[in-house]
Structure 1
C-alpha cells in the first residue's frame, strides 16, 4: 500500500506550517519582553507564578496516583451503567488493563529514572537553564510543542500504512470508554513523545509548567474517550451553545473524538481518517483534518477486526497473532486504517466540515 501523491503533498505542506506553529509562542514571548522591557533571564522576574501549596499538592498527586484513581472510578461507573454494552470480553478486558498498568508502572518510571540520569551526562550545564521562563509562557510553549507533536505522531500512524499496525490496538475495541485513552501497542507507547519531553523539560527547569500541561491534557484526553457524553448539554442548551462552539473547536470532546473511533465513515458522523487532535482539536481545524457533527457514532472499532489475542495486540511485532488473515499474524496483510473492500482499499481524502 503506497501513500498517494495528494496525501504526501498535504503532509509536507502541513509540516511546514507546523514549524511556524511551534515557534509562534516563543516569538510572542520574546516580543512581549521587548514591548514591556522585561528581562527575566537577568533575574528580574516581575511576574512569578506559584500556586497555593494545596493546589500544587493536588496537581502532584494527580500526576502520580490521583489521575489513575479517577480514571478507574469513572471506568467503574461506565461499566456499572452498561456503557460497554457487554462487549468487554475477557480478551478485551485483559488488553485494556495491561495497557493501563504497564505504561504507568513500568515504561514511564523507567524513562523518567534513566532520563534524569542520562541528561546530566550529555548536558551537564543545561540543568535548570530555562527556569527563568515565566510560568504562563512556559505553559503555552509546552502545551503547543507537546500536543502538536502528538497530533503528528497520531496522524502519521493513520496516513502512513506501514505505521498503522502500531496504532491499530487503540482502534480495535468495539466500544468507547475511559480505558481507551491508554489502550496502545507497547511500541507506540515507547516512542510516544510526552514522557521524554516531560523528563527533559523537568531537567531544564520547566518541570512545574510541564506538570500542569500533563495533568490538564490527561483530563481532556480521558474525557474525550469517555462513553459519557458530557459535551451534549453544550449543543442542546441554547445558552451554552456559544461556549460549545468554541469548546469543540479548541479541545477534543466526546463527539469529535468518538467520530475518530467509528468503524465507518458512511454515516456522515464517523471519521477515522481525521479528528486526530488529542488535547487540542484546533490542529484539525488548522490543517483541515477535522469534522464536527455534534453527533455520536452508533458503532466503533475496525471492520476487519479479528479479535486478536491481547498479547499480540499489545506486543506486535514481538508476538504475532495466530488468527489467520489478521494484520498482526505472521506475514499478515498491510491494509492501513481503511476498510478493505475485497482486494482494494480506498483512502478517503481529508475534508473539513463545520457546523454553524
Structure 2
C-alpha cells in the first residue's frame, strides 16, 4: 500500500513537471517574438502553401492536406513502412500473422480512416478555427508539436506499464521474443485506436499546422522504427572514441536500439534490461528528466515476457473482444491481472519481485 502511494505521488509530481514542459516551447516562441518585435499573427495568410515544386499529383496532395491529402499520405507511409519491415523470415506462424496484422490494419486502415473522419468532424466541433494557427513559423510549430505529441505519448506508454489494468492493452507489444522493425507496430487494437498522435495530427492539420505535423510524424516514425530495429546502428558511437561525444548527446536525446531494446528485455535483473522504464518514443530525454531511464550502451540477449504463453494472434490483437484459450493467460476469460512483472509458476519457490525490493528500500529509507 505504501508503495502504491509513493507511485501515485511520483506520477502526480511528474505530471506537474510535464505541464511546465508543455508550456515551455510556447513561452519560448512568445519570448522570441517579444525580443524581435515580430507579430506574425497580424500578417495576412491565405492558408498553408507548398514551398517547393513537385509533380501535379504530389502538389495536389500537399495542397489538400485538410481534406483528402493527409489520409493519402498516411496510407502511403503505412504501405511503405509495412514493406520495409518485412525482412524477418524466422517467425513462428502465429507471431508472423500477429506482426503483419498489427502492421497492416492500423497503418493501412485505422489511421487513414480516423484521420479522414476527424477532418470531417473538426469543422463541426471547432467551427471557424480552420487555419487559425497558420501564422506560426514552421520551426516553432515543429518544436511545439514534437514536445506536445511525444510527451503525451511518453505518458500514455508509461501509464500502460505502471497501471496494472492498462497493461493488457499494451502487453502485445512486449510479447515478441525478438526485436525488429516488423514488430514496431505490434499493438492491441484498443491501444492503437486511443493513440494520441492520430487525432493530434488531424487536429493540427485542420488548424493550419499540417506541414509541421507531417514533418514531425515522419521524423518520429524514422526514429521509433530505428529504435526497434535489430540492427544496432548506434554501436559505432560507443565503439569509436571520436564519436563518443555525439553518442553521449544522441542517447540522451532520442531513443536508440540500446536504450529501447533494454525496455523490451524479458528481465531487469541483469543490469541491462529495464522494462519498467525507458518509456521514451521519439525522445529519450523524458526518461532522463523523470528518472525512468537507464543507459548501459549494451544490448539484452533475450526479449519478450517470461510468462508469455504464445496466445493466439487474434486474442493479442483484439482482446478483450476475443479472448485466448490458453489456460492461465492474462488474455483468457477470467485471466489474472499480472502486470508487467513476471508471474510465478504454480508451486514455484518464492522469489522477491522488483516491486517488493523497491518497497523494502522505501521502508528502509523512511
Fold conserved (TM > 0.5)?
yes
In structure 1, the partner of 2:290 is: 287
In structure 2, the partner of 1:17 is: 17
1:96 paired to 2:107 = no
- After TM superposition, the structure 1 = structure 2 runs for residues 152-231 of structure 1, keeping only pairs within 5 Å, are 152-231=155-234
Instruction: Give the drift of 1:68.
Output: 4.0
Instruction: Give the drift of 1:64.
Output: 4.2
- After TM superposition, the structure 1 = structure 2 runs for residues 231-250 of structure 1, keeping only pairs within 5 Å, are 231-250=234-253
Please say if residues 63 and 211 of structure 1, whose CA atoms lie closer than 8 Å, have aligned partners that are also in contact.
no
In structure 2, the partner of 1:353 is: none
Instruction: Give the drift of 1:112.
Output: 1.1
Structure 1: segments with no counterpart, 5+ residues: 81-85, 351-356
- After TM superposition, the structure 1 = structure 2 runs for residues 64-103 of structure 1, keeping only pairs within 5 Å, are 64-66=75-77, 68-69=79-80, 72-73=83-84, 75-76=86-87, 79=88, 86=90, 88-103=91-106
Equivalent residue in structure 2 for 1:309, among 307, 312, 317: 312
Instruction: Give the drift of 1:26.
Output: 0.3
Distance 1:154 1:324 in 2: 28
1:123 paired to 2:123 = no
Instruction: Give the drift of 1:287.
Output: 0.2
Distance 2:317 2:219 in 1: 26
Instruction: Give the drift of 1:325.
Output: 0.2
Change (3 A) 1:297 1:54: farther
Moved more, 338-347 or 119-128: 338-347
Aligned length: 341
Please say if residues 169 and 190 of structure 2, whose CA atoms lie closer than 8 Å, have aligned partners that are also in contact.
yes
Please say if residues 82 and 103 of structure 2, whose CA atoms lie closer than 8 Å, have aligned partners that are also in contact.
no
Distance 1:236 1:106 in 2: 42
* Residue aligned with 1:8, SS: helix
Moved more, 56-65 or 304-313: 56-65
Please say if residues 184 and 228 of structure 2, whose CA atoms lie closer than 8 Å, have aligned partners that are also in contact.
yes
TM-score (normalizing by structure 2): 0.87
Instruction: Give the drift of 1:143.
Output: 0.1
Which aligned runs of 4 or more in structure 1 are off by greater than 6 angstroms?
55-62
In structure 2, the partner of 1:135 is: 138
Structure 2: segments with no counterpart, 5+ residues: 63-69, 360-366
Distance 1:114 1:19 in 2: 30
Distance 1:328 1:154 in 2: 19
Query: Over alpha carbons, which structure has the higher Rg?
Result: 2
Instruction: Give the drift of 1:53.
Output: 3.6
Q: Cα deviation per residue 1:203-231 (whole Å; 9 max; x = unaligned)?
A: 00000100000000000000000000000
* Residue aligned with 1:314, SS: helix
TM-score (normalizing by structure 1): 0.90
Instruction: Give the drift of 1:12.
Output: 0.5
Change (3 A) 1:71 1:238: farther
Q: Cα deviation per residue 1:225-275 (whole Å; 9 max; x = unaligned)?
A: 000000000100111111000000000000000000000011100000000
1:265 paired to 2:268 = yes
Change (3 A) 1:238 1:223: same
Instruction: Give the drift of 1:23.
Output: 0.6
Distance 2:74 2:333 in 1: 39
Please say if residues 78 and 104 of structure 2, whose CA atoms lie closer than 8 Å, have aligned partners that are also in contact.
no
* Residue aligned with 1:239, SS: helix
In structure 2, the partner of 1:354 is: none
Instruction: Give the drift of 1:70.
Output: 5.1
Change (3 A) 1:187 1:70: closer
Distance 2:11 2:343 in 1: 23
